Structure 1
Amino acid sequence: MNINLNKSGLSLLNALSNHSELIMQTYFSGSVNEAEHSPNIIQNLIDLKVLWRPESDVELRLRPSLRTLLEESLQDESNRQIDANIGNLLTTLTTQAEHYKEALAQQKYHESQAYLSDLTEHVYTLTETLSTNVRLLWSRISNEFGYVSSVDAKIRENELAQTQVTDMLNQLSMFHFDILSQLAGSHRELRHLLVITLQSAFATSTQELSLVQSKLLELLGRFREFKGRTRLLKGFMLHMEQKPDFTPVNYSSLSQVPNLFNHAACIIKGAAPDVYNVEHEFELTSLVDNLRSINRLWQGKKNRVVATALILEQETSIELNEDLLKDEVERYFCQVIDSGKNTRALDYFNQHNLDFDQEVWIYQVLGAFQGLPDSERDFFDIDLAGIEDEIYTGNFIIQDIELGLR
């Protein structure tokens, strides 16, 4: 620990505590009234870099760094400004990371820890700067720039905030995490600081800034609407001052009603889908999928077929052809039961000279066995004869089926 720096820091903090009233008066008034304070006190604060004189003929003022500290601590939104100078911080981070890696390579561990400490401080300063800037913008939006009174001033503050958001987005575009990842390399501490921490802050800030930008545009439209209404009201008041005896005419008794009052009441417009609304995309897609194309060929009156008279006739019996393949499979099962011997399906097929396709016959026998109830299937024992596929492993080609009783 540097003893001189420690003493200087204690002296600065003691001076801030002893002269807190003077500092706060200077903060709110903007300058110091030197006639109300001792020259020794004034000179001591100048030596401690608390007060400074920008020019020789200008009154003493607070240092910008101390004013920024007070604005941050007091959350004084009327005076705080957004710090969008991210480029210099990124350059500093890159330099400190290179110093840290070089010190580690040269086995200067004490220096490397000092560089890592500085790098950590700069990273957290950068993340805090981003979060503070976003928080400042949201606080301005929440009170709708309430620290200024007129609508014109609110519009100017809104436009300034939009410019600051654009500057911040441009500064955020300077983050190149592929380069930072290469810079961190295999160093765990550097990857945690330069990649994980910064990437989390970058994602949060980018998302918040997009919401801030849309809210600022909405507020700007509202402010301009207020301004238009205020202008209309001021015009009416000026008209009343110039013509104090003015009285509105009873327009309902006139035969020629001015167009301003000759408007019908609003009606509900016909419902129509908004094809540009992303939230309705799923519903519109499902409706389109359920559409069916129905084409009807309407014939002209001349080409229409004249309907014939309806004649009642005696109903004819309809005979359904039996499923020969199914019946033959049942006979095969019955033969196995009657004989009590194992019988191959192809042997039965050849003995009875069946006309079916052999593959269809085997498939039908297997399907009939699988379709039996569990209580009946337990009486049979089936054996599949076949070969393994020569090309595709795991595929068994059934060539014959042997069915028997258990």
Structure 2
Amino acid sequence: MSQTLQVAGTKFLKVLAKHADVIMLAYLSGRISDLDFDAKVLDKLIEAGILWRPEPGEDLRLRSSIRGLLENNLRDERNRQLDANIGSKLAAIKTVTSHYKEALHHQNLAESEVYLEDLTEQVYGLVDSLKQNVRNLWRRIHNEFGYVASINAKIRENELAQSQLTDMRKQLEMFQFDELANIAGSSRELRRLLVVQLQRNHSEISQELAIVQSKLIDLLGKFREYLHRSQLLKGFVLHHQQNPDYKIKDYSQLHNVAKLFKQSRSVIAPAHVDVNNIDHEHVYGQIVSKLRQVNHNKADSDKRKSQQFNIDDIESIEIENDAIKSAVESYFCEVVNSNERLSALEYHHLQTLEFDKEVWVYGVLNGYQGLSADEQEFFEIDTEGYPHPIFNGNYIIEDVELGRK
């Protein structure tokens, strides 16, 4: 049986390749006249199921399956139809699943493998059909419905796409994964196909459709904005054609300005002294004289007294040892004495230190950097952490491990 299918399929593909010019002409023009090509060639294409005649006397047209194949591979923008017949495909999947389970029950392994292959093909075909529908919607959105010229046509195409999207979401509601899980039962292959594969793709496609719907709504709003602006412009052009002597008035010269141009309140500048006006000279002089008056408070000068200090007192000053610094030194000594590698957080846990872990790790790094070059040669230091998930080049240190060379 498979050999017969292989021969028939090879023959069909050869017909497609041999008469590609006829098929593409039918795809681009929509129809083919009987006078354009040899009658034997057209009869051969009709017999192969590639062309068909809707009514006697009508021109020949492409089969919808062949047109869909070309639209899918050529990514033709005119492809505006979505395959939303999910119900029949789900019913076929359930039927083939029952055949597969029955073949397994009767221990007919060869027949069960055939049904499993058929089921896999139908599941993958359903998933590919759903994804293809989403890709068609995105392609139309990115092109902003460029296959139609007018704004009104774009709005109608957008509304058509939204209705198709709504139908597709209703079709997705037909997936009852509880029922599919019961049908799959304990079979690992069936659960992989009917539950895992379908549920994962169902979730991804549902999220994608929500984004597509928001984009369609935004695009529809933009189209309507363009339409209103074009209508306003067309109205002005028509008014100018009907009244060629019309001129726009200079509203700044009118006594009664239209409310359209009164969008802001009048602004009154604050009063100020005019330095170029002789009458304001006296007032200006008073302002300047007040700026020149500077009052010194003698009480403030008494507060500033000289500070004396004795150089000999410097020897008596003792720097108070920081607790974390002493702990870091003890940690270094512990590494030297034990001659084993020890991380800072392990030492923090063993000694039950009260410092914050992040402060402690920072203190160990600071203490190591404070050593001289000769002292640093005694130790090997490694950092443990992870790169920052967002900012490249940043490395977050969680712990420090110290050991002797």
Q: TM-score, normalised by structure 2?
A: 0.64
The one-letter code of the counterpart of 2:146 is: G
Distance 1:83 1:165 in 2: 11
After TM superposition, the structure 1 = structure 2 runs for residues 33-112 of structure 1, keeping only pairs within 5 Å, are: 33-112=33-112
Answer yes or no: is 1:24 the counterpart of 2:20: no
Give the superposition deviation at 1:79.
2.6
The one-letter code of the counterpart of 1:138 is: W
Look up the match of 1:160: 160
The one-letter code of the counterpart of 1:126 is: L
Give the superposition deviation at 1:54.
1.8
The one-letter code of the counterpart of 1:209 is: L
Give the superposition deviation at 1:22.
0.6
Look up the match of 1:240: 240
Q: Is the 8 A contact 1:68 1:80 kept in 2?
A: no
- Over aligned residues, Cα RMSD in angstroms? 1.1
- DSSP-derived class of the 2:131 partner: helix
What are the superposed Cα offsets for residues 59-86 of structure 1, whole Å, 9 maximum, x if unpaired? Answer: 1111110100000000002134111111
After TM superposition, the structure 1 = structure 2 runs for residues 196-207 of structure 1, keeping only pairs within 5 Å, are: 196-207=196-207
Look up the match of 1:128: 128
After TM superposition, the structure 1 = structure 2 runs for residues 136-285 of structure 1, keeping only pairs within 5 Å, are: 136-264=136-264
Give the superposition deviation at 1:56.
1.7
After TM superposition, the structure 1 = structure 2 runs for residues 247-396 of structure 1, keeping only pairs within 5 Å, are: 247-264=247-264
Give the superposition deviation at 1:2.
2.9
Give the superposition deviation at 1:43.
0.7
Distance 1:201 1:86 in 2: 14
Give the superposition deviation at 1:235.
0.3
The one-letter code of the counterpart of 2:34 is: E
After superposing on structure 2, the runs of 4+ consecutive aligned residues of structure 1 that deviate more than 6 Å are none
Q: Is the 8 A contact 2:97 2:119 kept in 1?
A: yes
- DSSP-derived class of the 2:83 partner: coil
Distance 1:103 1:56 in 2: 47
* Count of residue correspondences: 265
What are the superposed Cα offsets for residues 173-218 of structure 1, whole Å, 9 maximum, x if unpaired? Answer: 0011011001000111100000011011100100000111111111
- DSSP-derived class of the 1:37 partner: coil
Distance 1:245 1:80 in 2: 48
Distance 2:155 2:169 in 1: 21
Q: Is the 8 A contact 2:79 2:136 kept in 1?
A: no
- DSSP-derived class of the 1:228 partner: helix
Q: Is the 8 A contact 1:162 1:213 kept in 2?
A: yes
Give the superposition deviation at 1:9.
1.3
Distance 1:57 1:40 in 2: 17
- DSSP-derived class of the 2:211 partner: helix
Give the superposition deviation at 1:141.
0.8
Q: Is the 8 A contact 2:251 2:257 kept in 1?
A: yes
The one-letter code of the counterpart of 2:214 is: S
Q: Which is greater in Rg?
A: 1
What are the superposed Cα offsets for residues 287-323 of structure 1, whole Å, 9 maximum, x if unpaired? Answer: xxxxxxxxxxxxxxxxxxxxxxxxxxxxxxxxxxxxx
Q: 1:183 to 1:209 in 2, by over 3 A?
A: same
Any gaps of 5 or more consecutive residues in structure 1?
266-406
Q: 1:80 to 1:74 in 2, by over 3 A?
A: farther
Give the superposition deviation at 1:3.
2.9
- DSSP-derived class of the 1:102 partner: helix
Look up the match of 1:14: 14
Any gaps of 5 or more consecutive residues in structure 2?
266-405
Distance 2:52 2:250 in 1: 69
Answer yes or no: is 1:119 the counterpart of 2:130: no
What are the superposed Cα offsets for residues 6-47 of structure 1, whole Å, 9 maximum, x if unpaired? Answer: 222111111111110110000000011211211111111111
Distance 1:80 1:137 in 2: 8
The one-letter code of the counterpart of 2:32 is: V
Give the superposition deviation at 1:224.
0.7
Give the superposition deviation at 1:140.
0.8
Give the superposition deviation at 1:5.
2.1
What are the superposed Cα offsets for residues 215-252 of structure 1, whole Å, 9 maximum, x if unpaired? Answer: 11111111111111110000000011011111111101
Distance 1:255 1:153 in 2: 46
The one-letter code of the counterpart of 1:261 is: F
Q: Is the 8 A contact 1:134 1:205 kept in 2?
A: yes
Q: Is the 8 A contact 1:32 1:60 kept in 2?
A: yes
The one-letter code of the counterpart of 1:116 is: L
The one-letter code of the counterpart of 1:85 is: N
- DSSP-derived class of the 2:249 partner: coil
Q: Is the 8 A contact 1:72 1:80 kept in 2?
A: no
Look up the match of 1:2: 2
Distance 2:199 2:79 in 1: 30
| Identity rate, percent | 52
Distance 2:198 2:147 in 1: 33
Give the superposition deviation at 1:87.
0.7
Distance 2:172 2:79 in 1: 24
Give the superposition deviation at 1:167.
0.3
- DSSP-derived class of the 2:260 partner: coil
Q: 1:78 to 1:160 in 2, by over 3 A?
A: same
- DSSP-derived class of the 2:245 partner: coil
